[in-house]
Amino acid sequence: MLRLDGVASITSKALKLTDGTYKGVGRAFYGGRLNSISSFSTTFVFVITSGPYSDSSGYGLAFTLSATTDSLLDTLPSQYLGMFNNENLGNTTNQLFAIELDTLFNREFRDIDSNHVGIDVNNLLSINSHTAGYYTSDGKFTTLRLISGEPMQVWVDYDANSRHVNVSLAPYLEPKPERPLLSSIVNLTSVLPRSVYVGFASATRLWSIHQIIGWSFNPNGAATPLDYSVLSEVIDDVRREAESQSDTSSHILLPIIIMSVFIVLVMLIALYIYMKKARKSGEWEIDCGSPSFTYKDLVTATNGFKNRMLLGKGGFGKVYKGTLQTSKKNVAIKRISPDSKQGMKEFIAEITILGHLRHRNLVQLLGYCRHKNELLIVYDYMPNGSLDRVLHGQGNRTIDWIHRFNIIKGIASGLLYLHEDWEKVVIHRDIKTSNVLLDNKMNGRLGDFGLARLHNHGTDAHTTHLAGTWGYIAPELARLGRATKATDIFAFGVFMLEVACGRHPIEVNNSGEPVLLTDWVIDAWESGSILKTVDPKLQDYVKEEADLVLKLGLLCSHSVHSARPCMRLVMQYLVKDVSLPDFQASFLSLTTRDEDFDQHMMHILSCASVATTMTGLSGGR
pLDDT tens figures, 408-424: 999 999 999 999 988 88
The C-alpha atoms of residue 343 and residue 174 are separated, in whole angstroms, by 57
Residue 583 has pLDDT above 60, yes or no: yes
The percentage of the chain sitting over the pLDDT mark of 70, rounded to a whole number, equals 80
Whether 336 and 376 have beta carbons less than 8 Å apart is answered as yes
The C-alpha atoms of residue 103 and residue 60 are separated, in whole angstroms, by 5
HEC per residue, 168-195:
EEEECCCCCCCCCCEEEECCHHHCCCCC
From 211-215, 382-386, 396-400, 428-432, the region with the lowest mean pLDDT: 396-400
Residue 281: band (very low, low, confident or very high) from pLDDT cuts 50, 70, 90: very low
Residue 54: band (very low, low, confident or very high) from pLDDT cuts 50, 70, 90: very low
Whether 419 and 457 have beta carbons less than 8 Å apart is answered as no
Which DSSP state fits 451? T
The C-alpha atoms of residue 458 and residue 454 are separated, in whole angstroms, by 12
The C-alpha atoms of residue 114 and residue 110 are separated, in whole angstroms, by 11
Residue 98 has pLDDT above 70, yes or no: yes
Q: Which residues of the chain does CATH 1.10.510.10 include?
A: 387-620
The reported pLDDT for the residue numbered 314 is 67
From 179-188, 251-260, 438-447, the region with the lowest mean pLDDT: 251-260
Active site residue 430: yes
Element (H, E) at 199: strand 197-204
Q: Which member of 430, 448, 488, 535 is catalytic?
A: 430
The reported pLDDT for the residue numbered 542 is 96
pLDDT tens figures, 291-312: 578 899 999 999 999 999 998 8
The reported pLDDT for the residue numbered 63 is 94
Residues 6+ apart with CB under 8 A from 261: none
Q: Which residues of the chain does CATH 3.30.200.20 include?
A: 295-380
Q: Under CATH, which architecture does the 295-380 domain have?
A: 2-Layer Sandwich (3.30)
| CATH 2.60.120.200, applies to 2-251 | yes
DSSP 200-247: EEEEESSS-EEEEEEEEEETTSPPPPP-HHHHHHHHHHHHHHHHHHHH
Q: What is the dihedral of CA 446, 451, 457, 459, to 10 degrees?
A: -150
The reported pLDDT for the residue numbered 190 is 87
The reported pLDDT for the residue numbered 453 is 79
Q: Is 323 exposed, middle or buried (0-12, 13-18, 19+ CB in 10 A)?
A: middle
Q: What average pLDDT score do residues 21-29 get?
A: 82
Backbone angles phi, psi at 113, to 5 degrees: -170, -170
Q: What is the mean pLDDT of the chain?
A: 82
Q: What is the dihedral of CA 8, 13, 14, 16, to 10 degrees?
A: -20
Whether 118 and 128 have beta carbons less than 8 Å apart is answered as yes
280 is in an annotated binding site: no
The C-alpha atoms of residue 385 and residue 321 are separated, in whole angstroms, by 11
Residue 114 has pLDDT above 60, yes or no: yes
CA atoms in the 13 A half-sphere facing the CB of 251 = 4
CATH topology of domain 387-620: Transferase(Phosphotransferase); domain 1 (1.10.510)
pTM metric for this prediction:
0.53
Which DSSP state fits 589? G
The C-alpha atoms of residue 347 and residue 449 are separated, in whole angstroms, by 9
The C-alpha atoms of residue 241 and residue 213 are separated, in whole angstroms, by 14
Q: Which residues of the chain does CATH 2.60.120.200 include?
A: 2-251
Whether 430 and 488 have beta carbons less than 8 Å apart is answered as no
The reported pLDDT for the residue numbered 604 is 57
Residue 580 has pLDDT above 60, yes or no: yes
Backbone angles phi, psi at 351, to 5 degrees: -75, -30
The reported pLDDT for the residue numbered 298 is 94
Residue 512 has pLDDT above 90, yes or no: no
Closest to 169 in 3D by CA, of 188, 184, 183: 183
**Top-confidence residue, 382 or 257:** 382
pLDDT tens figures, 248-275: 555 556 677 788 788 888 888 887 776 6
- 540 Cα distance to chain centroid: 42
Closest to 438 in 3D by CA, of 390, 396, 392: 390
The reported pLDDT for the residue numbered 288 is 52
The C-alpha atoms of residue 328 and residue 217 are separated, in whole angstroms, by 81
The reported pLDDT for the residue numbered 303 is 93
Q: What average pLDDT score do residues 539-549 get?
A: 95
The C-alpha atoms of residue 246 and residue 208 are separated, in whole angstroms, by 10
Length of the chain measured in residues = 621
Handedness of CA 59, 64, 69, 72 (dihedral sign): negative
The C-alpha atoms of residue 83 and residue 97 are separated, in whole angstroms, by 10
Q: Is 216 exposed, middle or buried (0-12, 13-18, 19+ CB in 10 A)?
A: middle
